[in-house]
Amino acid sequence: MIKTASIEEEKKTVSLDALYALIQQDLKLVDVLILERVKSEVPLISDIARHIIASGGKRIRPALTLISAQLCHYEGHRHIALAAAVEFIHTATLLHDDVVDESKLRRGLATANELFGNKASVLVGDFLLSQAFQIMVADGSLKALKILSDAAAVISKGEVMQLMTEGQPETTIENYLQVVLSKTAVLFAAACELGATIAGQDRHEEALREFGVYIGVAFQLVDDVLDYASSSSQIGKNIGDDFQEGKITLPVILAYSAGSREEKVFWIRTLAELQQTPHDFEHALLLMRKHGAIEQTIAMAEKYCTRARDSLSGFTNSKAKSAMLDIVDFCTQRLY
Amino acid sequence: MIKTASIEEEKKTVSLDALYALIQQDLKLVDVLILERVKSEVPLISDIARHIIASGGKRIRPALTLISAQLCHYEGHRHIALAAAVEFIHTATLLHDDVVDESKLRRGLATANELFGNKASVLVGDFLLSQAFQIMVADGSLKALKILSDAAAVISKGEVMQLMTEGQPETTIENYLQVVLSKTAVLFAAACELGATIAGQDRHEEALREFGVYIGVAFQLVDDVLDYASSSSQIGKNIGDDFQEGKITLPVILAYSAGSREEKVFWIRTLAELQQTPHDFEHALLLMRKHGAIEQTIAMAEKYCTRARDSLSGFTNSKAKSAMLDIVDFCTQRLY
């Protein structure tokens, strides 16, 4: 919906085809392992797990583990299991997240809590997390276990932090970025770092970790924008979902902090008190446009993309590196 | 409330004083570690964690790890951290369990979900589980990690199984025992097995694991009885809580399966449909008495206690062994 002239100029077309071509075989093996693991004599477990895991999504986190391993010339099989563990941690988080957010829709499909109830979502989330740890223990690397258990700890802390800022448009940019780092970026970072770890390339761990952090923050900020500025077909959730759920995201924080007293009252009513009337979303878009909140969020996402590109500078050129740079371009391209 | 003559005859007085005297110092260190770990710059995390961890309870699971380690003549410090990990897994389960059961009271205190809300309970449960894994990773033993991650996987599966039998008094005894094994006994088993593992006494792992399974089932069955046959001061939850929440426990299953058509209708109305009137609980007690459901449950608990005692037969006498036998006696003594 919102396309500024300056953004149009930068437009270029990138796809993730090269990435997925490079990891296609591996990703299939990850899927096989995932489906194997969620097969259960308890039907509710397999139903929910299949629903959430099969419900689309780009498998971007396991893809990052697989491509990072390639970047580090890893030649074994451990990246398959660890990529699956990463996806399990992610889906466990999604299940609990949707319960906490009372979300009804994810990627255009009814959420598990909507279909199966909150109770089942909480418990199957726990089951998926336990599968992740069993996979990691079977892998047998304490270093990989540390990376992912630290990530799980930070994520859960981030979730609680987000709960505490719920309905508070006066949240600072710093606090918001802290939540994004904890909730989203840390798993991207762990996914990437694992590639270097299993390849035994300790000297590249830091760079890949940084790449993950930056691309993770950029993805979240672009998601924030898309919820106010995309067509529903693009991201598979309805535009305005975040607004309807009262989610405090960066565009909101920017519009609120720059807003007049009257505008602040509007944000408080609609997002903190969730008192919304049919034309409020349009008005929200108007206020965001007025203060350039979308453009500022995009600019910040671009900044993180630049940092992500820079963090790969220590790697010599390769197909894997090029595919990872595609991910960076793809991140913001979703906007145009 | 219910004391049969035969039970009175068996009455003897056992306390856990000897046990707690043996592990007093260790248990203090476990508590210090736990409080250290739940200190957080996020107030909601420390508030909830303190509430659930400090809200009494006998720390029976970490106590089992500590005393099992003593039984195996372990002399290091690793049992402290692993006992804390066991307690973290337990409290994480409690938090999610109370959300799923919509419980309002635990050990006589308001549950965390009642005080802080379901959302916070779900997320802080995740946080506590992640702390457990961080502690295990820091401990550095893949064997211990496997024992506890396997336990966590079984527990979450058991929770889902229980959800599926919710409101079904026609559940078979076998299915119910399967849930008890998964939900409760498996963590007791892991807690005990760890004692042998860290002491490097592999040959004792199986026996201690079995001791944990049997004592775990016995504790749960006694808990089931107490909810229909104790005074509230004894267990810190109100008598009749299970009935009010529609929980299907062994006494219910036994009374239901032996009940007339009319009695079955009563159980379905009160426990499956949760349509309860003020005198229903009294009537439930009457039906249980009629069919000897309480006595049968106690007899089954006693059988598991005997198995627990037998599983320690391979250990020579020691203060630790004697304290563990006290735990077995204490388990059923709570009934009298």
For B192-204, what is each residue's pLDDT tens digit?
A: 999 999 999 999 9
pLDDT of residue A238: 62
Residue A159 neighbours by CB under 8 Å, 6+ apart: A93, A96, A97, A100, A182, A183, B123, B126
Number of domains making up chain A: 1
Distances (CA, A) of A62 to A34, A82, A180, A221: 11, 8, 19, 20
Element (H, E) at A105: strand A105-106
CA distance B87 to B2: 32
B96 contact residues in A (CB cutoff 8 A):
122-123, 126
At A106, give phi and psi (nearest 5°). Answer: -140, 130
Contact B272, B169 (CB under 8 A): yes
Tokens found for residue A240: 């305005």
pLDDT of residue B12: 60
Please report whether residue B84 resides in a domain: yes
Question: Residues in chain B with pLDDT < 50?
Answer: 1-10, 232-233, 235
pTM of the complete model: 0.90
Range of the domain at A119: 14-322
Contact A137, B145 (CB under 8 A): yes
Please report whether residue B2 resides in a domain: no
Please report whether residue B3 resides in a domain: no
Report CB contact under 8 Å: B123, A153. Answer: no
Tokens found for residue A28: 């299939």
Tokens found for residue A327: 């991910």
Which of A94, A119, A136, A148 is the best residue to mutate to test the B interface, defined by the most B CB atoms within 10 Å of its own CB? A119
Please report whether residue A247 resides in a domain: yes
Contact A246, A272 (CB under 8 A): yes
First to last CA, chain B: 9
A20-69 confidence digits (pLDDT tens): 999 999 999 999 999 898 887 788 888 887 787 776 677 899 999 999 99
- Under the banding of pLDDT at 50, 70 and 90, the label for residue A334 is confident
CA distance A311 to B131: 30
Which ipTM value was assigned to this complex?
0.88
Which of B99, B160, B187, B245 is the best residue to mutate to test the A interface, defined by the most A CB atoms within 10 Å of its own CB? B160
Please report whether residue B140 resides in a domain: yes
Residue A7 neighbours by CB under 8 Å, 6+ apart: A295, A298, A335, A336
pLDDT of residue B251: 96
Element (H, E) at B106: strand B105-106
pLDDT of residue B240: 84
Q: Which of B140, B151, A88 is closest to A80 using CA atoms? A: A88
Mean pLDDT of all residues in chain A?
89
Please report whether residue A310 resides in a domain: yes
CA distance B134 to B223: 31
B116 contact residues in A (CB cutoff 8 A):
none
The helix/strand/coil state of A59 is coil
Share of chain A above pLDDT 70, in %: 92
A239-252 confidence digits (pLDDT tens): 888 898 888 999 99
Report CB contact under 8 Å: B145, A124. Answer: no
Report CB contact under 8 Å: A127, B163. Answer: no
Distances (CA, A) of B121 to B125, B169, B172, B290, B307: 6, 28, 31, 40, 36
C-alpha dihedral sign at A115, A117, A118, A120: negative
At A94, give phi and psi (nearest 5°). Answer: -55, -45
At B109, give phi and psi (nearest 5°). Answer: -115, 155
Q: Which 8-state DSSP code applies to residue A316?
A: P
**Span A1-5, average pLDDT:** 44
B129 contact residues in A (CB cutoff 8 A):
126, 129, 152, 156
Q: Is some CB atom of chain B closer than 8 A to the CB atom of A147?
A: no
Please report whether residue B199 resides in a domain: yes
CA distance A116 to A110: 10
Specify the CATH number for the domain of residue B26: 1.10.600.10
Please report whether residue B127 resides in a domain: yes
Q: Which positions 35-54 of B are in contact with A (Cβ < 8 Å)?
A: 40, 42-45
CA distance B129 to A153: 8
Q: Which of A96, A127, A149 sits opposite B156 (nearest CB)?
A: A127
DSSP secondary structure of A261-299: HHHHHHHIIIIIS----TTHHHHHHHHHHHHTHHHHHHH
Distances (CA, A) of A168 to A163, A171, B46, B303: 10, 6, 21, 57
